[in-house]
Structure 1
Amino acid sequence: MLNVCLACALLPVGAVALNPDANDAVTLDRVVVEATRLRGVPAFDMPASTATISLRDDGNRAGADVSEVLRGIPGVLARDRQNLAQDTQLSIRGFGARSTFGVRGVRLYADGIPASMPDGQGQLSHFSLAGGDRIEVIRGPFSALHGNSSGGVVQIHSADGEAGDPWRARATVGRDATYSAAAQLLGGGGRIGYNLALSRYDTDGWRDHSAARRDTANLKLDVDLGERRRLDLVLNYVDVPEARDPLGLTAEQVRTDPRQAVANAILFDTRKTVRQHQAGMTYEHGLGAAQALRLMAYGGSRDVLQVLPIPDFAQGNPLSSGGVIDLDNRYDGLDARWSWQGAVAERPFEFTVGGNLDRQRQHRRGFENFVGETLGVRGAPRRDERNAVDNTDAYAQAWWRFAERWSLLLGARHSEVEFESRDRYVTDANPDDSGRVRFRHTAPVAGLTFAPQADWRVYLSAGRGFETPTFNEMSYRADGGAGLAFGLRPAVSDNVELGMKWRNARGATWEAALFRADTDDELAVARNVAGRSSFRNAGRARRQGFETAFATPLGQAWDLRLAYTQLDATFRDAYLICQGVGCTVPEIEVPAGTRIPGVPERQLFARLQWRGEAWSTAIEGEAVGDVPVNDLGSESAAGYGLLHLEAARRWRTRSGELRAFARIDKLLDRAYVGSVIVNEGNGRFYEPGADRGWLLGAEWTWAR
């Protein structure tokens, strides 16, 4: 750690040496990360690690998964699981790595509308890359200002339509009968802008039994009402009619045939169906020259049907919830905030105060996954409950440049999250498991920024965040009993970060940060069998490390990007765990100092790109260290390095532009494990990554 500290301290010296004119004033860009809720403060002046990824740049991928564009951000691990039934695995500085489905531990937003439920569970499936303008990522202490389960923040923004914007159509084809098609209708007239994005992704899957299709539609309307008033309307639709789940593999199965699906996946036809509808509205109203009011409201539904490979004899237990999960989710919420920009003691000052209410109503039903001798179908009912979660938050933050070179950012958020379950499946052998629990937490944050030069910032920030268990994590008790696991406690984390940012007039940037997060009551997987997970509080944990990112143009046509993350994530307390299928009484000790499963110690990303007038090409490399897959650390997924190559050619005509592109993934054709299922009870921890693959695509952009 001492070497890392020295490296961080020396970075600015090396950075300034790269630019002989570093002592001269330069014009810095005014990129504002909206997730910080500070309109007048550019990201460069924030005491936080942030990243903004443009989605308007030419892309040579399928555009079907957010993991495609989140690679190359230090501290962020986005894994394409080759399995649409389980969605992308996303973690930030180790938060969220334990998730076996969806995203948790990280707050998600789409056009300002929460994509994370009040309990902290989120999904990336409705992020529309086809209509996107940019993605913002926040890492570190200031994520806590977004409330429950904010180990980091990821927010996607759709482009605003303006008069004269071109329309776009795009299609790709690749191996395993994979294709994608997307269209974006972007434009406007007068005071109204529109952005309609439609897309379809269809694949037979690289692994057996992994075929899937996903259709998305996203509409954004922005209305300029004049006099600093603006209204945004967002409509979103996602349909995954049937995504088959090949399940994880053991290490031996990976070595024998990484493309196989386990026998039970075929036998029970394991699969998931998802359908989501969502609508949201954001209204902004300027109040004089210095004040602004912002109101946001949203509502939606997400229905999920999942078939699990639980053997029929295991459902003989009267407390079993069956092997088919049927979830109907209804959710809504609103947020209101007031901000003021002015001066205090003749120094720039910005203040924001607000609050939000969010509700989630869930009808969870369980059924047997057999009827007679027929497997993989909905059978007799085994669970029926109405669940509700409500959160009420109030927050405030203030930024003040109190001296020529110094600025201060302070904030706090108070959250109350209440879970309630009403059991409607009560029998003589299955008692009423209704219950209620409420969690309260206040998250303070503070950050100090120093500007030694116009193109260099050094900052220190600290904060406290919290993470409640989600409904999915509470749904199954570790002791095998019926009902929700109301005994789980929230995890509370103390975060601190020391960082620097540098850039020059030629477009080079260099950022680095040292960070530490100490967590009490760490939430960990207790057991994970046949797609059903239960959780426990595992005591204290620590995530600490170093991350850096460097980007620079190399002459007129070349660009280089580098990113590196070193992350040490360990349990600081010993605790007991279960081993083996059916275990409900923990009896094996996990020693203090054991690595947290699902978290690699090292990540490296590099991309070198050349752009000519008509042609462009790039070579991209990524490396990930080994990943422990269970609490004991007795097994690990080996580290790997991958190399990708892409090229594109464009033709300009009077009516538009045609761009054709090709990409080869995993150029060296090395076998590797792309993602892991933490603590999988049958030892099937591994989800293999695809081998060498190809992609061809074309994009037509035209003016109307």
Structure 2
Amino acid sequence: MLATVLFAAAIEVPVVVVTATRTEHASFDVPASIDAVKVDENNLRTNASEALAAVPGLVVQNRQNYAQDLQISSRGFGARSAFGVRGVHLLTDGIPASMPDGQGQAATFNLDMAERIEVLRGPYSAIYGNHAGGVIQLFTKEGDGAPSVELNVAGGSYGTRKTDLNAQGKQGNVGYVVDASRFETDGYRAHSAATRDQAFAKLTLTPVDGAKLNIVANALRQDDTQDPLGVTWATYQRDPRAGEIDNADTQSPKRTLAERYNTRKSIDHKQIGATWEQRFGDDRLHVTAYGGNREVIQYQAFSKAFQAPSTHSGGVVDFERDFSGLDINWSHVTTLAAGKLTTTAGVEYGHSNDARQGYENFVGATFGVKGALRRDEDDTVSNLDPYLQTEWDAGAWQLSAGLRHSRVKISVDDHFLANGNDSGSLDYSHTTPVLGVLYRVAPQLNVYASAARGFETPTLNELFYSGTGGGFNYRLQPALSTHVETGIKARLDERTRINAAVFQVKTSDELVVDTSSGGRTSYRNGGHTLRQGAELSLDATWDYGLSSRVALTTLRAVYDQGSRLPGVPNANAYAELAWKESAGRFGAALEAVAVGKIYAEDNNVDQPAPGYGVLNLRVNASQQWAGWRFRQFVRLNNLLDKNYIGSVIVGDANKRYYEAAPQRNWLLGVSALYQF
């Protein structure tokens, strides 16, 4: 009897996704590689890497550096990012978390209120335009049911602690969610302490029949987040947690670069957005509007050798950004040749304006303080992208097509002319077509193929410097790519599902690191690259509350001369075996993560970061009492206490490529929820 109950509970519920087609689809019936993953409530819910490690084709490297955010790459796109996320388009509830130039920050995701994360790879990503080597979209919870209040408290190794308080509910036709949290850590690496405050609010209204309005606001604040910088191979071998000694520091011979310059970053990010959906029978109008402000001040590590007034813009970056955007689309459903034809037409506009200053990071003999002004400019980026998607579904066949024309404008108005006038503008444009076909071989087996052209402009940060100390780089060209993919989606039975895909991407004018030093990176166009790979995921549920997931990726990413792309492992894998007691009171899981070696520079000459494998264990429990729900969990990460490099800084001029990951560490969390 128990086995029968467990079997019934394990039958798969179809996963519904919207990111690939902008309309609701079972992921099984989408001709694209797309996964929807849950954010595990038995974790810290601070880094998206916690959930995204389970997605094939995706590499999410935690730098252990909250000043620079995660390093996320999709099939190799985005791996060279010196900070933040580029090459991968980020959204929250349909609202962009990436700027018009393609740069985004995963730290703005509120994972405490996450319902699921959708990850789209391959050709279909191109329908999101510039920098869409992949798409990651966070969907947050909507207020529902009786009001509830929840408190979560967690703590662990290296002074890690987090407190989160949230409330949700629904009154009449208004649902609400509010959340506030504080995360603190002393950091695993030297000079890597951070404090992060986040706030989130969401209102869901149904003012008239067939209509739905979501209003989402979020805020992120980090004051003086320490930047540990990278280290050389010799320093990593001596002490993985140590910083790089500043050999030029004659006053304090054992002081690190990070300590001497007090490298750090402060961030204040605020954003509000709204989505309106109105249905007219099968047709639908969808409108998204958003706006926000981001303030950043960052202290970088430069020695006096780079302080010539005529060649650089200072070691302190200080900017204030206002950004906004609008997306309007209309979906129409009709019948064509005994099939269903769904067509979506829309236009997206984005705009950002930076008031940007640069200062010396020393005064007299004191480093790490704001000194003389060396840069003063206004930087403006905008995009205007009309797009069209259509899908015809009849019997065993589904045919899809899309077209998007992206135009990105970048302008610089330089007010500091002592080191030359960097004023100027750039105008990039490209049309990206997408084609897909899916064939239903049997009710439990679909095969598909898709192809697209991709478009990737330099981001504003990639244009700032041309070579060591140089000014704005107006010579950079966009990278153009051709994507092809074929795959299968199969349900072996009610409890086992397999997705598999093989793909190839050819890119011209690939944007690569020219030189990187002290937190400043310049770029160049690097010729042709080829990416070929395969992805496999397998999900299964078993008797007695057991379930498993396996995600495997192999990727050959090379330049035309044969060397491998830096920052991209040739293989990575994830496996999880989980158990959940029938009543849901207890659970446990064992996770395994493996990543191949990663080269740190284009010529593959210097020591690559060695491949590694780690095991993680979690145990959780929950109790119900009257209107209360209590939860507890314990995590042990890196069970075997491995020393390994978690990420690399691509192309660092001083060979300080390596960023160590934590050895064995623990995390304990408790929560209490009361429903009124």
TM-score (norm 2): 0.95
1:330 to 315, 322, 327: 322
Cα distance per residue 1:56-111 (max 9 Å; x no partner): xx532211111111011100111111110010110011000000100000000012
Match of 2:252 in 1: none
Cα distance per residue 1:269-322 (max 9 Å; x no partner): 0000000010101111123x1221111110001111000111234213422111
CA drift of 1:340 comes to: 1.0
2:642 to 662, 667, 670: 670
SS in 1 for 2:215: strand
Give the Cα separation in 2 of the matches to 1:299 and 1:336.
Answer: 15
The 1:687/1:40 distance shift into structure 2, 3 A limit, reads: closer
Give the Cα separation in 2 of the matches to 1:367 and 1:479.
Answer: 17
Kindly indicate whether the alpha-carbon contact (under 8 Å) linking 1:312 and 1:369 is maintained by their aligned counterparts in 2. Answer: no
Give the Cα separation in 2 of the matches to 1:603 and 1:395.
Answer: 34
Give the stretch that moved more between structures: 609-618 or 218-227.
Answer: 609-618
Give the Cα separation in 2 of the matches to 1:599 and 1:391.
Answer: 29
Match of 2:408 in 1: 417
Kindly indicate whether the alpha-carbon contact (under 8 Å) linking 1:643 and 1:666 is maintained by their aligned counterparts in 2. Answer: yes
SS in 1 for 2:112: coil
Cα distance per residue 1:221-264 (max 9 Å; x no partner): 01011220111111111000121011101111001011112211
2:43 to 52, 57, 61: 61
2:603 to 620, 627, 632: 632
Query: Is residue 654 of structure 2 the alignment partner of residue 654 of structure 1?
Result: no
Match of 1:549 in 2: 537
1:36 to 5, 13, 20: 20
Match of 1:78 in 2: 60
Match of 1:527 in 2: 515
Pairs within 5 Å for 1:180-259: 180-259=162-241
Match of 1:52 in 2: 36
Kindly indicate whether the alpha-carbon contact (under 8 Å) linking 1:32 and 1:39 is maintained by their aligned counterparts in 2. Answer: no
SS in 1 for 2:291: strand
What residue identity is the alignment partner of 2:36? Answer: T
Match of 1:308 in 2: 300
Pairs within 5 Å for 1:408-557: 408-427=399-418, 430-478=419-467, 480-482=469-471, 484-504=472-492, 506-557=494-545
Match of 2:345 in 1: 353
Match of 1:179 in 2: 161
Give the Cα separation in 1 of the matches to 2:306 and 2:634.
Answer: 49
CA drift of 1:504 comes to: 4.8
CA drift of 1:218 comes to: 0.9
Match of 1:695 in 2: 667
SS in 2 for 1:472: helix
Match of 1:21 in 2: none
Query: Is residue 564 of structure 2 the alignment partner of residue 595 of structure 1?
Result: yes
1:298 to 290, 300, 318: 290
Match of 1:577 in 2: none
Match of 2:580 in 1: 611
Match of 2:4 in 1: none
What residue identity is the alignment partner of 2:371? Answer: G
Match of 2:557 in 1: 569
The 1:93/1:549 distance shift into structure 2, 3 A limit, reads: same
Give the Cα separation in 1 of the matches to 2:468 and 2:632.
Answer: 56
Pairs within 5 Å for 1:377-392: 377-392=369-384
Kindly indicate whether the alpha-carbon contact (under 8 Å) linking 1:130 and 1:198 is maintained by their aligned counterparts in 2. Answer: no
Query: Is residue 293 of structure 2 the alignment partner of residue 321 of structure 1?
Result: no
Give the Cα separation in 1 of the matches to 2:219 and 2:468.
Answer: 38
Number of residue pairs matched by the alignment: 653
Give the Cα separation in 1 of the matches to 2:641 and 2:503.
Answer: 35
What residue identity is the alignment partner of 1:410? Answer: A
CA drift of 1:188 comes to: 0.8
SS in 1 for 2:25: coil
Give the Cα separation in 2 of the matches to 1:127 and 1:479.
Answer: 34
Give the stretch that moved more between structures: 177-186 or 467-476.
Answer: 177-186
What residue identity is the alignment partner of 1:553? Answer: T
What residue identity is the alignment partner of 2:541? Answer: P
What residue identity is the alignment partner of 1:600? Answer: P
CA drift of 1:567 comes to: 0.3
What residue identity is the alignment partner of 1:597? Answer: P
Give the Cα separation in 2 of the matches to 1:38 and 1:265.
Answer: 45
CA drift of 1:701 comes to: 2.2
Match of 1:576 in 2: none
CA drift of 1:177 comes to: 1.2
Kindly indicate whether the alpha-carbon contact (under 8 Å) linking 2:155 and 2:669 is maintained by their aligned counterparts in 1. Answer: yes
Give the Cα separation in 1 of the matches to 2:468 and 2:271.
Answer: 37
Gaps of 5+ in 1: 1-26, 573-591
Give the Cα separation in 2 of the matches to 1:40 and 1:88.
Answer: 29
SS in 1 for 2:615: strand
SS in 2 for 1:485: coil
Gaps of 5+ in 2: 1-10, 245-255
Give the Cα separation in 2 of the matches to 1:340 and 1:291.
Answer: 5
Give the Cα separation in 2 of the matches to 1:560 and 1:235.
Answer: 36
Query: Is residue 235 of structure 2 the alignment partner of residue 267 of structure 1?
Result: no
Give the Cα separation in 1 of the matches to 2:217 and 2:25.
Answer: 30
Give the Cα separation in 1 of the matches to 2:23 and 2:323.
Answer: 28
The 1:341/1:448 distance shift into structure 2, 3 A limit, reads: same
CA drift of 1:29 comes to: 4.5
Kindly indicate whether the alpha-carbon contact (under 8 Å) linking 1:38 and 1:350 is maintained by their aligned counterparts in 2. Answer: no
What residue identity is the alignment partner of 1:257? Answer: D
Kindly indicate whether the alpha-carbon contact (under 8 Å) linking 1:74 and 1:549 is maintained by their aligned counterparts in 2. Answer: yes
SS in 1 for 2:67: coil
2:133 to 146, 151, 157: 151
Kindly indicate whether the alpha-carbon contact (under 8 Å) linking 2:362 and 2:370 is maintained by their aligned counterparts in 1. Answer: yes
What residue identity is the alignment partner of 2:69? Answer: D
Kindly indicate whether the alpha-carbon contact (under 8 Å) linking 2:20 and 2:32 is maintained by their aligned counterparts in 1. Answer: no
Cα distance per residue 1:407-447 (max 9 Å; x no partner): 101001001101100110012xx221111110110000000
Give the stretch that moved more between structures: 680-689 or 643-652.
Answer: 643-652
Kindly indicate whether the alpha-carbon contact (under 8 Å) linking 1:606 and 1:622 is maintained by their aligned counterparts in 2. Answer: yes
What residue identity is the alignment partner of 1:691? Answer: Q
1:96 to 78, 93, 104: 78
Give the Cα separation in 1 of the matches to 2:388 and 2:13.
Answer: 27
Give the Cα separation in 1 of the matches to 2:208 and 2:670.
Answer: 39
Query: Is residue 623 of structure 2 the alignment partner of residue 641 of structure 1?
Result: no
Kindly indicate whether the alpha-carbon contact (under 8 Å) linking 1:40 and 1:350 is maintained by their aligned counterparts in 2. Answer: no
Match of 1:622 in 2: 593
Give the Cα separation in 2 of the matches to 1:268 and 1:283.
Answer: 48
CA drift of 1:604 comes to: 1.1
Give the Cα separation in 2 of the matches to 1:90 and 1:224.
Answer: 36
Give the Cα separation in 2 of the matches to 1:504 and 1:322.
Answer: 60
